[in-house]
Structure 1
């Protein structure tokens, strides 16, 4: 994939003006699914989103770890009631996303997820890059220590999917305005290539690169 996709791309839709895309978070998901789910390319985007959702639903990660990953991607996801309803967290939110995808993709309850085959060195590289995250700012809404997100990314890399963890990590670097030393950039490129991602995937953090 040349560009971001799945849960991390959906998180990007929760920007400062996300309320113009829906009155509440579920409407944002529904509106985007309505927009793209009209042809095969769009349906593939929805399938990739559902794959991320199902992986985390089936994972050993705690709800707080799932929420930490999601918030790194969705910086302006509300931490206050919307239409008098508390925003869904963790697996409840993932289940709500999956529900909004059902009209387009059908039943996903028994969908099989292929095991991800990744070299141990690539997994270790993702974890090392996570450990190098150095926050210069906090998330704009919900206080969420960078160390909590880093820990969730590392566990996701070890026990769920290194490629998914890497996409969340890119969002976390951006969320915390973490500098990317020039010495680390080749490692980001190597990991990105190992997962078969395109050059534009790294545009999430390119502006953080220090010369």
Structure 2
């Protein structure tokens, strides 16, 4: 029978279970850590609704793993900051004491909650998971052997994965990588993140504290997992007058430029700066740039006391300054440059922009000619992204035929599937 897995992101906002306890202890390693203190921390986490802690401990206790394997894995996970052997006890006995502090099972959920979780519950066969996690451990073996000051950590982790539980083994592997700052490449990071997503982890379980060797910043990057990026997402953040509740315009620029956890430092700032530069250095008149921006933000009829974006180019200079400052902070070696314009797609994007002339929304018709200029004189990629954003802003229905063309263009430009998502309103009449 297939194993029933938990929807961890529903119950936890950070690492959890035995790996979560190990992370907490690592963070306290400058303080005194003896067995009574550690058991107090474990009891506190169990009382704070970490139902997985007891389950993890019992998984190891019920496994055939010898004490030396459990001891090795534990020392690697906590960076040797607490060693049961130094307290005169073996690792199994210590795990039994942890398990005794934890409820034997999670509390019952109400039927509605349980049904909702069943729809999101991951289905990952254990053997498939064992194979995937073991492959990542073996791939990281050289780094683990070089940096982790615990002999035999790689074979010990593999035995946990193969003889106890692959989910727990994966989390303890991640914790060892973090405890000893073992660097992983960007490709490895993406695989680890995908494994975590497949197990319904909160994303911080993988990326928080992980040392990643990021790829060089690329202003032409388009495969952002959270969909939109650059000027369109800034326009969404500053839409109408709603933005005033979230801070100043400069603070909103900073939020869009910030990369957020799990992304290469500077990645979002680099593409936002790329967009701003293209418009700043283009032959598109300043009045047209201002019209484009205020249309994209739904601010055509909004009168602000400071009119922060009344002059499109002055506003883009502010955007540029914030991005430059952010990039200088997170990646001082990065020298900003423009990515090549996608001129091969000019005609294809231009055809879609010209369809906007027929939109029912007057603001969309009013900015269509400016969008054409962006496509032909600036960059079809930027023109296409602004078109999608403006259609969404004004709720312009998009028929399935046109939506299909948009998907094809998005794929050619390298956008993630999330970029179109379900944001564009459907034209249920099927008009293309």
Q: TM-score, normalised by structure 1?
A: 0.74
Q: Cα deviations across residues 97-144 of structure 1 (Å, max 9, x unaligned)? A: 12333xxx3xx49xxxxxx962533321100110122134243xxxx2
Q: Which runs of 4+ in 1 moved over 3 A?
A: 78-81
Q: What is the distance in 1 between the residues matched to 2:138 and 2:204?
A: 23
Do structure 1's residue 129 and structure 2's residue 130 form an aligned pair?
Answer: no
Q: Report how far residue 31 of structure 1 moved.
A: 4.4
Counterparts of residues 26-105 of structure 1 (less than 5 Å) = 26-34=36-44, 37=47, 42=48, 44-45=49-50, 47-75=51-79, 76-78=81-83, 81=86, 85-86=87-88, 88-101=89-102, 105=103
Do structure 1's residue 170 and structure 2's residue 174 form an aligned pair?
Answer: yes
* Alignment CA distance shift 1:138-1:157 (3 Å): closer
SS at match of 1:196: coil
Unaligned runs of 5+ in 1: 110-115
Q: Report how far residue 164 of structure 1 moved.
A: 0.5
Q: TM-score, normalised by structure 2?
A: 0.38
Q: What is the distance in 2 between the residues matched to 1:79 and 1:119?
A: 30
Cα RMSD for the two superposed structures: 2.6
Q: Cα deviations across residues 69-106 of structure 1 (Å, max 9, x unaligned)? A: 2112212114774xxx43x33211101212333xxx3x
* Alignment CA distance shift 1:210-1:59 (3 Å): same
**How many matched pairs?**
181
Q: Report how far residue 205 of structure 1 moved.
A: 4.9
Q: Report how far residue 186 of structure 1 moved.
A: 2.0
Aligned match of 2:183 in 179, 185, 197? 179
* Alignment CA distance shift 1:35-1:74 (3 Å): closer
Q: Report how far residue 36 of structure 1 moved.
A: 6.2
Q: What is the distance in 2 between the residues matched to 1:189 and 1:161?
A: 19
SS at match of 2:125: coil
**Contact residue 124 and residue 199 of structure 2 kept, 8 A:** no
Q: Cα deviations across residues 121-170 of structure 1 (Å, max 9, x unaligned)? A: 3321100110122134243xxxx22xx22212212222221110100010
Aligned match of 1:17 in 23, 27, 30? 30
SS at match of 1:59: coil
Q: What is the distance in 1 between the residues matched to 2:17 and 2:166?
A: 14
**Contact residue 173 and residue 205 of structure 1 kept, 8 A:** no
Unaligned runs of 5+ in 2: 1-7, 106-122, 216-432
